[in-house]
Structure formats: C-alpha cells, structure tokens
Amino acid sequence: MAEHHSQATSDVPRNIGGAGQGVKIGVVLAFVLVISVGILFLANKAVTNKRTGALENQQKRLGLLAHGRASVIETWLQGLSHQGDRLIKSDLFRLYAAEVDTIEGDLAAVFGAVSMGDDEEEDGSALAEQLPMMQNMLREFSTYSGFLNARILNKQGDAYIATDGHLPPMSDTQIDMAQASVKGKNAQFSPLRKTAQGIEMDIYVPIFPPEAGEDNSKAVGVLMMTRQVTGKITELLSNSALSAKGERTRLMQKANDVFREVTPWTAQGFSDVVVRIKIDTDGNIPFGDRASLSDSDQEVYSLGMRIEGPQWWVVQESGYTSAMKPINDFNRTVYTVAGLGILTALLIAGLAWWVLAGVQSQRIAEEFKLLANKIDDQKRFIDSINANIDEFITLKDMEGKYTYVNDAFADAAGRSKEELIGMDSAAVFGFDTAKRLGSTDEIVIRENRKMTINEPIFLRSQRYQFQISKSPYNDSNDVCQGVVEVYRDITEFVAVQEKNKRLVQRAMEALGSTIEAADPYLGGHTKLLAGLSVEVAKTMHMSEIDIAEIETAANLSQIGKMFVPNEILTKPGKLTDEEMTTMEEHVEHAYRILKNIDIAEGVLMSIYQMNERIDGSGYPKKLKYDEIMLCARILSALNVFCAMIRPRAYRGAKDPQQALGILASDSSKFDAAVVEALSQVIKTPDGEKLLGQNN
C-alpha cells in the first residue's frame, strides 16, 4: 500500500507537469510561427526592394550609357559639319556664293556669259573665270578632309561646283535637305545609306554672305559633303570596357517612316527593326522589357536616346537573363537565409523548450560554447581565405591613400601590410600608372558606381596585365568614403589569347596547303590569291574588318575542292558538262563545311559567291552585279587572274599583263573597279614581290 501510495503520489506532479509541458510547447510553437511569419515577410520585402532597386539601377546604367554614346555621336556629327568652316567661312567662297545667288533662273551664267545684257554678260564671264579655281579649292578641301566628294549648291538645291568634275543629278531627298539647311540656317544630316564602298552619309552646311552674321542673315548657298562612315559607326557601336556582360549598343535610324537598325558589319549594312517602336514626348525610347531591335526571339531590357540632328536613336540593350541573374541570385540567397533563420528559430525554440522542460543550464551553456567555437572557426576560416586569396584587394580613402591591403597585394608590392598603410598609388606603382588609376577613382567617387578596367602595371620591374574592379565604399548613409579595388592577374590569359590568334592563322595557312595538295597545279594558288586580294582591298580603301575577312576567305576558298574527284581536278583536257557540274559543286561542299563553324558571315558568303559573274553567268546562284558582295567580286576576278598566271596540265602560264588584259576585255563578267585596282597593285613593290614568289 505504501509503495502504491508513493507511486500514485509521484504520478500527480508528473500529470500536472505533462499539462504544463503542453502549455509550454504551445507557447514555443506560437513563438516559432510568429518568428517564421516575420522572417518570410522581411524576406519578401527584401526581394521586392531588390528587384525594384536593380531595375532602377539598370535603367540608370542604360540611360548613362545611351546618353554617353549619343553625346559622342552628336560631337562627331558636329565635328563633321564644322570641317567645312575653313572653306565656307572664307570671304572668297562667301562672295562667290553671294554673287551666284544674285543670278535668277538658269545657272548657265556660272559656266559662261549669258546674252541678257552687257551687265549680265560681264557678271557671268567673271563667275565662269573664277569657276576652275573654286573647283580646285573644293577638291583640295574634300581630299584633305577625307570626304568622298563635295558640292556647292544654290538655295534651290542646284549644284554648280562639284569635286568629281561633273554635276550629276541630285535626288529629291537631297534637294529637300539642302533647302532645309538654307531655311533653318543650320547643318543637316542625311539618312545613312549602303553603297559598294560601305555606309555613306551627306552633310549639308549653309553658306552665308560675307560680312554678315549667321543669326540675322539669310543663307546664299549650301556646302554638301559626302562621307564614308562604315568604320566610324562600327567604332562608335563597339562595346567599351564599361559594358557589362549581355549589354549591347545599337544604332537605329528612321527614313521614309521606316525604322531600321544600322549594322555596318553586315553585307546589307542595315536590318529591319522587328519590335514595335514607341517614342515618348521627349523623342526618346522609354526603358522597358521588350524584344531586341532585330531579333524578336531575344528578350532584353532596353532604352533609346534620340540624337540631335538626324533621325537617329542610340538604343542600349541588356540581355534579360543577364539583367535578372543578380536578382535571381539575391532571391535564392534571401530565401536560403530566411530558411536558415526559421531553422535557427526552431533551434532556439527547442533550446528554450529544453530549458522550460528542466534541461540543465550547464548543458545549454556547453551548447552555446560549442556554437561560439564554431563561429570562431568560421572567422578563422574567412581570415585564412583572405590571407591566401590570389587576387589583390585594397581599400583607399578619399585622398587615394591605402587604409587596407591583403597579403597578396603586400607580397606583390614587396612591402609589409603595415608599411603600405598610408601610402598612395604613386609610391607603389609610379607617377604615370597612378595617374591612370586615379582618373577612374575620380569617376567611381563622383558617380558612385562600379567600374572595371584593364591596365598594364609594373611590379618590382615585372610587367603584369590586370583587370581591376573598382567599387565605392559607402557608409550607412550611402556616402562614399573611399574606393575598394580588386586586382585580377590576366597576364597569362592575354598571352594565351595572342598565342591562340597566331595558332589560328597558322592553322588556316596549313589548311590552305592541305587543300592545294589535292591538285598539283594548285600549289601556291591560295597564298598568291590571299596576298593579292589584301593589296587590292587596301587600294580600294576597304575597312580593316573587310580586309581581314577577304584574307580569311581567300585562305579557305579552295576547301570545297577536297571533295572533287582528283581525276577531274587534274584532267588535262576540257571538262565535259557532267564533269563541270561535279566541279562546280565544290562551292556547296565549302558552304556545308564552313556554315557550322564559328566564322564571320562575310567570310562564308564571300567564298560562296566568288565564282559568280556580274553578268549572271557564274555559279551557283547566277547572281548579278548588285547581288554579289564586293569582297566576292574581288575574289572572283583575282581567282581567275591567279589561275591564268599559273601553268595547267593543258596550257602554260600566262604573263600577268596578258592575264590582266583578258580580265579588262571581259568587263561584262568582272568588276571594272577591281580590275583597275589590280592593275595598280601589280605595279607596286608589294605586288611585284607577290608575283615574284609565284615564279
């Protein structure tokens, strides 16, 4: 009984304790629920704020880049228009234009006397006598300033002086722009257009009478200048060191109420804008999520800035995936941290439950001690990473003096970390390098934004190539207190790039030699074709990109013949129609091989079209003059020329002059401008050297 009573007595507090324990568990679960809801609320708010802030920053970045590119283009256009000032602001040209302006009706008086009376005949004779001198001055100006041609027009848009020796008719658009320049008393710029030489544009600048201000005087004529701008437009649109991954600058123009993207690196020069363009009241394209200008399948964030003068827009695009990656990464991080926070809350609740359930405080203290040890371990781990990281990490104050450097930077500089604190870049790198680095520091501090640059730097008499990322170091009020720098050594990467470039060139040459081995009479043909093609392209003033593409195309031009039976390649007599059809299939073989290789479109199409003739008698597509790329027309003529001056099984080699004469006489098949350029090249030392190597 006593034992039973004792047991029953002991059960009472156990039951009471069980009820109390249930209450405690409820309190703990409520605590965990409240903490979890709070953590999720804060996480969602942080994600929303991050997305909003990231898109605002993206808009600001694209706006700054677009505004910067637009300012550069506007400055370039103003420079083009001002190049004519030294001509049209001379009193001689102003006076001549003013005198021409007094002539009403027919401009024949400029070219000779008009029988309308003694006074008019005398005036016309004076203008006609001065005309040759004015033409020479205009021609010298155009040549010196780098314009393709130039004209002087009256107020009605009629030309009476031209650099090309004659006055070809002008289009209605050109006349309208000339008259608009006179009426508005300012420079006008024509839409860009594609020609055989590349992308061109016209600049119209008003001419005012002598001793008259431009604000209160009417224009008496117009200077029209034509410029080839392929290379410049390509340069202006190329990515800078400030461009982030996935960002691209595009140029769009409106002509005849049609929007088109300017693509000077393509054969067509333009591409149709597939996205619907919405212009705001300021004439700009607002920031938004939309399809890319000329690729409806590519989603981007974009923003467009109107350029003063022509109907051009600089459109800055950032790939949607690239733009969203930091946001998605942040979201994962936030929710991971939120999950860890909830787990932490559960852990704390569990510890509290154990305390409320009577777990000894010493055990809790031991657990907290273990947690503290883990924190210390993590701190030491982070310190060891910072001490052993390869990148250089520094922090500079507003005066450019180092307040922190990591071990890697100190080792590379050959100084201790304590010695470097308080020094500036000039003391470590030298004055010139410090000046270059300091200029970007000023931008980072002034604009409160990140910058990445590539700089060659000498450390302890050894040259390195560094990629340097600079970020503002802000306090809790977002006020910049200094600059954080991370130096990444890319010396070996740059060297490997240069080495790979040389290896690719040698591989192409080796491939050309392998191709030529299939035909004993083809040996040296590719090398000669490439050399002469480059010289002809230079003579025709083609861009560096086009010259590089034509050299690559020449080196790969014979690759399709590897698939032509050798008995057809080396047949001594004339090929049958069936054999000729088999031979011509080498073009399709080449296209099939090269189309899946990372090769420029211009190179691929030059190889595919080089057997076409401008009269449509070539193969494989029977293309005619305007349908054949200029690079392909060059390769077409020079391929035949190189074949004629080399021996074949069924004939001997022809003299270069004799082969050139055959090309010139067959002007219906070959571009006369290319043949003329070839005739100039073979007279130069470089041309003679190439032909000498052929022998």
pLDDT at res. 364? 62
In this predicted structure, the answer to whether residue 120 has a pLDDT above a threshold of 60 is no
CATH code (residue 625): 1.10.3210.10
Read off the pLDDT band of 46 (50, 70, 90): confident
Instruction: Give residues with Cβ within 8 angstroms of 502, minimum separation 6.
Output: none
pLDDT at res. 275? 85
In this predicted structure, the answer to whether residue 491 has a pLDDT above a threshold of 60 is yes
Read off the pLDDT band of 10 (50, 70, 90): very low
Read off the pLDDT band of 527 (50, 70, 90): confident
Task: State the Cα–Cα distance between residues 168 and 164, nearest whole angstrom.
Answer: 9
Read off the pLDDT band of 627 (50, 70, 90): very high
Q: pLDDT for 125-180, tens place per residue?
A: 778 888 888 889 889 998 888 898 899 988 888 888 888 766 667 888 889 999 99
pLDDT at res. 116? 43
489 φ/ψ angles, rounded to the nearest 5 degrees: -80, 110
Read off the pLDDT band of 13 (50, 70, 90): very low
pLDDT at res. 315? 93
Read off the pLDDT band of 466 (50, 70, 90): confident
Count how many Cα atoms sit within 13 Å of the Cα of residue 56 in the half-sphere of its side chain: 6
pLDDT at res. 386? 63
Whether residue 462 sits in one domain with residue 606: no
Read off the pLDDT band of 573 (50, 70, 90): confident
CA 469 to chain centre: 21
User: For 400, which DSSP code?
Assistant: S
Give me the residue label for tokens 């996480």.
Answer: 43
Instruction: Give residues with Cβ within 8 angstroms of 608, minimum separation 6.
Output: 587, 590, 591, 620, 632
- More confident call, 19 vs 293: 293
Give me the residue label for tokens 């249930």.
Answer: 22
**Spatial CA neighbour of 315 closest among 379, 350, 263:** 263
Q: 525-539 and 630-644 helices cross at what angle (nearest 10)?
A: 130
Count how many Cα atoms sit within 13 Å of the Cα of residue 496 in the half-sphere of its side chain: 4
Whether residue 577 sits in one domain with residue 673: yes
List the single range of 209-213, 276-280, 352-356 with lowest mean pLDDT.
352-356
In this predicted structure, the answer to whether residue 357 has a pLDDT above a threshold of 90 is no
Whether residue 177 sits in one domain with residue 50: yes
pLDDT at res. 204? 95
In this predicted structure, the answer to whether residue 537 has a pLDDT above a threshold of 90 is yes
How many percent of the chain have pLDDT more than 70?
A: 84
Whether 540 contacts 673, CB under 8 Å: yes
Whether residue 514 sits in one domain with residue 656: yes
Q: Is-above-0.75 flag for pTM?
A: no
In this predicted structure, the answer to whether residue 423 has a pLDDT above a threshold of 70 is yes
Whether residue 277 sits in one domain with residue 204: no
Cis peptide before 620 (omega within 30 of 0): yes
pLDDT at res. 609? 92
Boundary-marking domain end, from 438, 472, 489: 489
Task: State the Cα–Cα distance between residues 180 and 310, nearest whole angstrom.
Answer: 12
Whether residue 663 sits in one domain with residue 596: yes
Task: State the Cα–Cα distance between residues 561 and 514, nearest whole angstrom.
Answer: 11
Task: State the Cα–Cα distance between residues 588 and 610, nearest whole angstrom.
Answer: 12
User: Residue 159: inside a domain, yes or no?
Assistant: yes
User: How are the residues of the chain apportioned to helix, strand and coil, as percentages rounded to the nearest 5?
Assistant: 55, 20, 25
- Which is it for strands 193-195 and 269-272: parallel, antiparallel or unpaired? unpaired
pLDDT at res. 516? 58
User: Residue 195: inside a domain, yes or no?
Assistant: yes
Instruction: Give residues with Cβ within 8 angstroms of 657, minimum separation 6.
Output: none
Q: pLDDT for 540-549, tens place per residue?
A: 999 888 998 9
**Spatial CA neighbour of 336 closest among 35, 32, 47, 53:** 47
Average pLDDT, the chain: 83
User: Residue 382: inside a domain, yes or no?
Assistant: no
CATH code (residue 453): 3.30.450.20
In this predicted structure, the answer to whether residue 278 has a pLDDT above a threshold of 80 is yes
Whether residue 190 sits in one domain with residue 58: yes
- More confident call, 339 vs 360: 339
pLDDT at res. 568? 80
Whether residue 416 sits in one domain with residue 290: no
Mean pLDDT in residue range 314-334: 85
User: Residue 17: inside a domain, yes or no?
Assistant: no
In this predicted structure, the answer to whether residue 262 has a pLDDT above a threshold of 60 is yes
Q: 630-644 and 656-665 helices cross at what angle (nearest 10)?
A: 130
User: Residue 368: inside a domain, yes or no?
Assistant: no
Whether residue 547 sits in one domain with residue 516: yes
In this predicted structure, the answer to whether residue 648 has a pLDDT above a threshold of 80 is no
Task: State the Cα–Cα distance between residues 231 and 548, nearest whole angstrom.
Answer: 13
User: Residue 355: inside a domain, yes or no?
Assistant: no
User: Residue 400: inside a domain, yes or no?
Assistant: yes
Buried b (16+ CB within 10 A) or exposed e, 149-181: bbbbbbbebbbbbbbeeeeeebeeebbebbbeb
Report the domain count for the chain: 4
With H, G, I as helix, E, B as strand and everything else as coil, classify residue 149: strand
How many percent of the chain have pLDDT more than 90?
A: 23
Whether residue 342 sits in one domain with residue 216: yes
In this predicted structure, the answer to whether residue 518 has a pLDDT above a threshold of 70 is no
Read off the pLDDT band of 121 (50, 70, 90): very low
pLDDT at res. 509? 61
Mean pLDDT in residue range 597-608: 87
User: Residue 22: inside a domain, yes or no?
Assistant: no
With H, G, I as helix, E, B as strand and everything else as coil, classify residue 556: helix
Domain housing 277: 239-305+317-323
Which range has the top average pLDDT, 199-203, 375-379, 650-654? 199-203
Conformation bin of residue 582: beta by default, left when phi > 0, alpha when psi is -120 to 50: alpha
List the single range of 14-18, 438-442, 518-522 with lowest mean pLDDT.
14-18
In this predicted structure, the answer to whether residue 298 has a pLDDT above a threshold of 70 is yes
Task: State the Cα–Cα distance between residues 43 and 311, nearest whole angstrom.
Answer: 46
Mean pLDDT in residue range 46-73: 88
pLDDT at res. 395? 92
Q: Residue 31: which H helix or E strand, with range?
A: helix 2-82
Task: State the Cα–Cα distance between residues 207 and 220, nearest whole angstrom.
Answer: 6
Q: What tokens does 311 get?
A: 């109907």
In this predicted structure, the answer to whether residue 20 has a pLDDT above a threshold of 60 is no
Mean pLDDT in residue range 495-511: 60
pLDDT at res. 361? 61
Boundary-marking domain end, from 440, 465, 489: 489
- Residue 549 Cα distances to 270, 480, 586, angstroms: 19, 48, 20
Q: Is 66 exposed, middle or buried (0-12, 13-18, 19+ CB in 10 A)?
A: buried
Read off the pLDDT band of 1 (50, 70, 90): very low
- Which is it for strands 247-255 and 258-263: parallel, antiparallel or unpaired? antiparallel
Whether residue 248 sits in one domain with residue 104: no
Whether residue 525 sits in one domain with residue 458: no
Whether 270 contacts 261, CB under 8 Å: yes
Q: pLDDT for 649-678, tens place per residue?
A: 666 778 889 989 999 998 899 999 999 999
462-474 sheet: strands from edge to edge: 402-405, 392-397, 480-489, 462-474, 451-459
User: For 170, which DSSP code?
Assistant: P
Mean pLDDT in residue range 344-357: 75
- More confident call, 534 vs 107: 534
pLDDT at res. 90? 86
Task: State the Cα–Cα distance between residues 671 and 636, nearest whole angstrom.
Answer: 9
Whether 623 contacts 657, CB under 8 Å: no
pLDDT at res. 653? 79
Boundary-marking domain end, from 489, 520, 552: 489
